[in-house]
Chains A and B, each alone.
Chain A
């Protein structure tokens, strides 16, 4: 059952889609070379940077994952947002790592690593970043399809068609206009997304009553909903992973870093981080409030643990009136399109700039470089579609995003800090950190699917696995760097 009206709400969504895709296609005329395509000519100013970073880091998958946290853990679900906001503010204020990174005028992180650790580490870093990034992004499309199918009341048989249409819309302007189109559409998407989110939160709180929502939360979840340390329901190991992941992603997640690298100067890059830091909390708080509202609306028994992710969209479908539901669907589409376009271009930039470096050696013409970047984005789109159709998500979506993100965040954050601030670090340490950072989370993903090891893996849990990976990667960097014979200088 849904209140979505195909004439009125569908019209609102169509209007948004035509507007944003037209804007994205219109600015493609400004793309002259690979630099324009990948970092928008490094001309982005503060407010556009904030809009773009905020829109990129809030997609349908994030919204559903964080609403699920609110549904299951109440206000304790804010925890990753508090950690991310704090980490982004600290990094922006101090310029830790981002200052040397922006000053060097690189396009990607591996490019920075080449000077310190050599060409092989640059290539290996590129592979790890793309592997972790694509696995992470692989579930976005299915979550967007699930959301739209539930809210618009499509038959589940149309899920694949919905996923394909979303992807085609995003790919069209990203392939043609690159980062320039991404920035312009991100701005439109930030405004549409924010209006929709703010409207729906006010409506839900007005309709249910804040105190009534809290009473339901008290009754159903108890004190653990207010204190992440209480009874270990959210857990210290999970909080530790949230904090490690927050700092690592702020420092090295390619879609975040690409905003720093696109900024017109280092000062603007730092201010973009400081200005966007509260949004990292918004990104968790607003969906978590909507998750708490869904818990109040449906109670704890309507959705099983694995179906909890559908609580928020189901509430939207049943609760929102005609007109507003169209605005919310447009807002969520905006959130998702900005995320998908930025992620596609982020991973394609690493593939072209770092993994394909031994092939093009930086000697290809701008026309050939642009052509290859466009082909790579199209290939990433095809991968996303196939992976989204094939991979059956188990457990919390946020946990999946954390584990796959850890594949590269653990080692890349260690490499970045070492490259910027630890003189004795070298390529042995870098390779050891990359290997350890990859092996532990991938082992977790594989072993949780194997019946013999499933029970053992679940007993340890993803949080301990994730947290151990960060410390192990740092240790590997230290040991690897120190055991390398000092006579052979490679820096």
Chain B
């Protein structure tokens, strides 16, 4: 019983981490682009 609990938890952790890495890699890059564009505009003003 305890073996299954830890096995399921470990699988969930790994799956979540894989998905979040991909999502954050793409959307975090977009966040950076937007943030730098905003600062650039502020500096030009």
- Chain B residues with CB under 8 Å of A194's CB are 17, 21
- Chain B residues with CB under 8 Å of A279's CB are 17, 20
Inter-chain CA distance A30–B43, complex, in Å, is: 8
Total number of residue pairs linking A and B with CB closer than 8 Å: 85
Contact in complex: B2, A282 (CB < 8 Å): no
Contact in complex: B43, A50 (CB < 8 Å): no
Contact in complex: B24, A190 (CB < 8 Å): yes
| In the complex, chain B residues 1-45 whose Cβ is within 8 Å of any chain A Cβ | 2-3, 5-7, 9-10, 13-14, 16-18, 20-21, 23-25, 27-32, 34-36, 38-40, 43
Contact in complex: A214, B21 (CB < 8 Å): no
- Chain B residues with CB under 8 Å of A47's CB are 23-24, 27-28, 30-31
Contact in complex: B10, A30 (CB < 8 Å): no
Residue A34 interfacial (CB < 8 Å)? no
- Chain B residues with CB under 8 Å of A43's CB are 35, 38-39
Residue A278 interfacial (CB < 8 Å)? yes
Contact in complex: A48, B28 (CB < 8 Å): yes
- Chain B residues with CB under 8 Å of A48's CB are 28, 31-32, 35
Select from chain B the residue with minimum beta-carbon distance to A40: B35
Inter-chain CA distance A429–B20, complex, in Å, is: 43
Contact in complex: B17, A226 (CB < 8 Å): no
Contact in complex: B10, A198 (CB < 8 Å): no
- Chain B residues with CB under 8 Å of A184's CB are 32
Select from chain B the residue with minimum beta-carbon distance to A81: B13
| In the complex, chain A residues 27-53 whose Cβ is within 8 Å of any chain B Cβ | 27, 30, 32, 40-41, 43-48, 50-51
Q: Which of A32, A75, A191 contacts B25 (CB 8 A)?
A: A191
Select from chain B the residue with minimum beta-carbon distance to A210: B7
Residue A286 interfacial (CB < 8 Å)? yes
Inter-chain CA distance A191–B23, complex, in Å, is: 10
| In the complex, chain A residues 159-216 whose Cβ is within 8 Å of any chain B Cβ | 183-184, 187, 190-191, 194-195, 197-198, 201, 210, 214
- Chain A residues with CB under 8 Å of B2's CB are 75, 223, 226-227
- Chain A residues with CB under 8 Å of B17's CB are 194, 197-198, 279, 282, 286
Inter-chain CA distance A227–B3, complex, in Å, is: 10
- Chain B residues with CB under 8 Å of A289's CB are 10
Contact in complex: B16, A282 (CB < 8 Å): yes
- Chain B residues with CB under 8 Å of A78's CB are 6, 9
Given A75-B6, A210-B7, are A27 and B16 neighbors across the interface (CB < 8 Å)? no
Given contacts A43-B35, A47-B23, A226-B3, 12 further A-B contacts (CB under 8 A): A27-B36, A43-B39, A45-B31, A46-B31, A75-B2, A191-B24, A198-B14, A226-B5, A275-B20, A282-B13, A282-B17, A285-B13
